[in-house]
Amino acid sequence: MSKSQTTPEPEVVELRPRKRRADGTTWRETIFWLLAAGILLFTGILKGINLVIVLAYLLVGLWVLNLWLAGRAVRGLTARRLPRPPIQAGIPTEWPIEIRDDGPAGGTWVLEERVGDASASWLIIRRGTGAVFRPRVRATFPRRGKYTIEPLATRSSYPFGLIGRSTQILPPDELVVLPKSARVDSERLRKWLFRAWVGGDEERRRLRRIVEGEAEIHGLRDYRSGDPPRRVHWKVTARRNRLTVREYEDAAPPRLLIIVDPWLPPRPKAPDRERLEALISLAAGVCRQWRREAGARLALVMAGPKPLAIDGPPGPGTTERMLIALALEDGGDGSDIARLLGELSRAALVAPVLVLSSRPDSPVVKAAGRYLGRHVAFSHVDKREAWYSLP
């Protein structure tokens, strides 16, 4: 019994725009070859020249042999798509494919991965039963959204290139390209959120603890690498002549509720779509940055034509769901914000609220404030704030 063997991995191939082939069939070569064979056969029969007739039969025989060998070269192949990393617009990403060859040794075949009008292909020599190939695709997607990966195909015109045979070894698949993320400064964002709220001193202290994830001061200790600069107690530091930080007890994880208003007019123009893309990038940046801190709680409400409320435990799974929702947002008129907020947990509803919009006069701000009974922080992409920079 032959053992499974892993062949040297083919090089990483870039996904590039290419002309589409007609299922791997070399029709031009086939037509010319058979036409030449037909002309020779007709001439041989008409003139009674046996050598020319034999030559015509030889050409047809070679074509039939090529057809059989090409079909043999693509038999016995199976494949599976290995897990793909998250794909972000504008950033090169690679994903692997695993191909197992249980067919006969000998021959060559071409593997082709296609996404839209772009494709990546590899020429692979068959090495016998049990060979495993793991080619990798490198791609850079300029825009966020959903892309369709066409069926993974193999094709071969081995050995003469007279006729090609192809087969599909994997069904079509879909991938979601996440939006480009704005650069968000978490320290400036928290200070901005705190200033955006209005209320009494007690309300401000409560919100500061929620936003910054701090509780009552437990004591003082020496500075350790990684401590946030805002926790440095400067008076004690000056007195002791060494960095001293406040230590907090039972600190609650920071919480935030983001409401995204992806508004577009009925007939959007290029500047309108640019504002929408800026909004999506800003919301993605806040989501990524806020959830980097251990235990940070974040809820997301999409108040567009595809209403959605996401509220889950800390972790990469919930963050990816939020980024996917942002990636698939097409923009449009708003939806019922009260119904969406009603789907959130109590912990999300008591968190500070940040409304992000593509328009300066978003009605979502007042609607959310009325439902929650308090003020909400608001920012729109036409007014750039110091706590973020767009890509």
- Quote the pLDDT of residue 252: 52
Which residue carries 């912990």 as its tokens? 347
- Quote the pLDDT of residue 2: 42
Beta strands at 173-178 and 87-88: parallel, antiparallel or unpaired: parallel
Residue 326 CB: number of other CB atoms within 10 A?
Answer: 24
Which residue carries 């439902």 as its tokens? 371
pLDDT (tens digit per residue) in 13-49: 999 887 655 444 567 888 899 999 999 999 999 999 9
d(CA 302, CA 261): 7
- Quote the pLDDT of residue 336: 83
pLDDT (tens digit per residue) in 96-113: 999 999 988 888 999 999
Q: What's at 149, amino acid-wise?
A: I
Structure tokens at 102: 């249980």
CA angle 347, 349, 350 (to 5 degrees): 70
Residue 77 CB: number of other CB atoms within 10 A?
Answer: 20
d(CA 249, CA 348): 22
C-beta of residue 314 within 8 angstroms of C-beta of residue 348: no
Q: Write the CB contacts of 1 (distance below 8 Å, at least 6 apart in sequence).
A: none
Q: Domain 5-178, what fold?
A: Immunoglobulin-like (2.60.40)
Q: What's at 135, amino acid-wise?
A: P
- Quote the pLDDT of residue 216: 47
d(CA 156, CA 102): 16
d(CA 186, CA 294): 14
Per-residue pLDDT of the chain (391 residues; tens, 9 = 90+): 344 455 555 579 999 887 655 444 567 888 899 999 999 999 999 999 999 999 999 999 999 999 999 999 999 999 999 999 899 999 999 999 999 999 888 889 999 999 988 999 999 988 878 889 899 999 999 999 999 999 999 999 999 888 889 999 999 999 999 999 999 998 888 888 877 764 434 445 555 554 555 444 456 778 887 677 877 888 888 888 888 887 654 445 678 999 999 999 999 999 999 999 999 999 999 999 988 876 788 999 999 888 999 987 777 788 999 999 999 999 998 778 989 999 998 888 888 899 999 999 999 999 999 998 888 899 999 988 999 999 8
- Quote the pLDDT of residue 264: 95
How many secondary structure helices (H) and strands (E) does the chain include? 10, 23
- Quote the pLDDT of residue 219: 63
Domain boundaries, the chain: 5-178, 217-249, 252-389
Q: Domain 252-389, what fold?
A: Rossmann fold (3.40.50)
- Quote the pLDDT of residue 201: 47
C-beta of residue 299 within 8 angstroms of C-beta of residue 348: yes
C-beta of residue 351 within 8 angstroms of C-beta of residue 254: no
d(CA 321, CA 354): 19
d(CA 68, CA 164): 10
- Quote the pLDDT of residue 259: 96
Helix (H, G, I), strand (E, B) or coil at 341: helix
Q: What's at 314, amino acid-wise?
A: P
Q: Write the CB contacts of 261 (distance below 8 Å, at least 6 apart in sequence).
A: 279, 303, 304, 334, 355, 356, 357, 358, 359, 362, 364
Beta strands at 255-261 and 353-357: parallel, antiparallel or unpaired: parallel
Cα→Cα distances 387→126, 153, 302, 334, Å: 56, 47, 22, 26
- Quote the pLDDT of residue 214: 47
Beta strands at 93-101 and 136-139: parallel, antiparallel or unpaired: antiparallel
Compute the half-sphere exposure of residue 187: CA atoms within 13 Å on the CB side of its CA: 5
Beta bridge partners of 166: 155
Q: Write the CB contacts of 371 (distance below 8 Å, at least 6 apart in sequence).
A: 337, 338, 341
- Quote the pLDDT of residue 110: 93
- Quote the pLDDT of residue 8: 53
